[in-house]
Amino acid sequence: MKLAVVILAAGQGKRMKSDLPKVLQPLAGRALLEHVITRSRALNPSSLHVVYGHGGDAVRARLQDADLRWALQAEQLGTGHAVMQAMPNVADDELVLVLYGDVPLIRPETLRNLIDAAGAKAMSLLTVMLADPEGYGRIVRNARGAIQKIVEQKDASKAQLKIREGNSGIMAVPAKLLRKWLGKLKNANAQGEYYLTDIIAMAVKDKVKVTPFIAPTEAEVLGVNDKLQLAELEALHRAERARELMLAGATLADPARIDVRGDVTVGRDVFIDANVLFEGKVTLGDRARIGPNVVLRDISIGADTVVNANCVLEQSEVGATCSIGPYSRMRPGNRVGNQVHLGNFVELKKTVIADGSKANHLSYLGDSIIGKKVNVGAGTITCNYDGANKMTTTIEDGAFIGSGNMLVAPVRIGKDATTGAGSTITKEAPDGKLTLTRAKQMTIDGWKRPEKKK
């Protein structure tokens, strides 16, 4: 059967005490709903529906580029009512997987097992064994262990409240049967809502097989209702991603102090120190070493490269056997070759550096093309911006840039050229020659430093 995923994302989230809709609250740098959509896409559904309500304009604006089908739940009358809003765009021959926009850690593998247990004449339900089932609907089974119904917390008897198996709300149901059961829902309950869970009793009555599948972990089905729960899920997500990196072969100095807010690929024998933040798409080559307090964002790091402490590197490519930092900054658009050294307080922007070059101290290199085995002295700045236009500095192979240089672009430093310390270079420095600028040094006799009046 084709798969239609329906994500319920219309809740207001009053307990968040936030102007931001609940499903847009951030988890690992992305909205809760974005996590659910990403995990849903891993199932290759034929259609993906989002039921929205509170803060609907903001929700749709945040996800306007995604290939989604939207259904408005103007009044929040329960989960059953929410699913009804999506059903006009779901075909009878589809299997409907119901997910929730505030349950972000559900694993695709778990969902695949759930889907496999359903079919044209059978549905499946994801349950969870809870240490504290407070707030969850309880799974009521008969003596043979078959599910009879789900009872919501506010409608449960004292005996039912002792049941530890809770309803996650996640289910896979054939669309034709789901449409029929939704049409029979009543709101005669403590909340006055149309509960999606009431279709379980209808399925049992119609002798439709209901297959329960217990979630492997409680974390997968945890929802978010307030900022405390959001922080708890952040910690669980952090632990999950750290575990993935370690299973991929990386050594983490402290798995509790690493944040992965994107997709990280690691080679063999990678070492990652404490308090490292990954964002976007990050690739670390074999034996790469990442020091403490480093931010890596949309970047590839080559094999045997060391990124020392307190660097912020983004949207760049770094080759093999390089040494970066400490306290280096890469703004977007850099390509760094192999065996390059960039030392403390060196900043790059839209710069290409070829193999074997180095800038070890206190330099800014922007809109530059730097050849092989170039030495950039301390305190060098490429003056690339005139207030309206960005211009290029070209430094050819083997050039030696003296300390304290101002290279005023557009300008070319020739092959094997040398520039003297303290020079402001505004014209081409010829190949293989020394180019420098020097103001005449003067000493003024009789001059006195001004003093403050007492």
Q: Which DSSP letter does residue 303 get?
A: T
Decide: 170 and 128 in contact? Cβ < 8 Å: no
3-state secondary structure of 206: coil
Give the count of alpha carbons within 13 A of 382, CB side only. 27
DSSP string, 119-184: BTTEEEEEEEE-SS-TTSPEEEE-TTS-EEEEE-GGG--HHHHT--EEEEEEEEEEHHHHHHHHTT
Query: Two tokens at 93?
Result: 């021959």
Residue type, 395: I
Estimate the share of the chain in helix, then strand, then coil, as percent rounded to the nearest 5: 20, 35, 45
CA–CA distance, 394 with 84 (Å, rounded to integer): 63
What are the strands, taking DSSP E only, across 367-442? 368-370, 375-376, 381-383, 393-395, 400-401, 406-408, 411-413, 418-419, 424-425, 434-435
Q: Can you tell me the distance from the alpha carbon of 284 to that of 314, in angstroms, rounded to the nearest whole number?
A: 13
295: Cα within 13 Å, side-chain hemisphere? 11
In degrees, to the nearest 5, what angle opens at C-alpha 372 toward C-alphas 368 and 378? 60
Cβ distance 331 to 311 under 8 Å?
no
What is the C-alpha separation between 132 and 452, in angstroms, rounded?
72
Distance between CA atoms of 201 and 123, rounded to whole angstroms? 12
Give how far Cα 291 sits from Cα of 116, 294, 306, 308, 451, Å.
44, 6, 8, 5, 48
DSSP for residue 89: G
Residues 35, 237, 341, 361: which is the catalytic one?
361
361 in active site? yes
From the number of C-beta atoms within 10 Å of its C-beta (0-12, 13-18, 19+), residue 360 rates as: middle
**Residues designated as active site:** 361
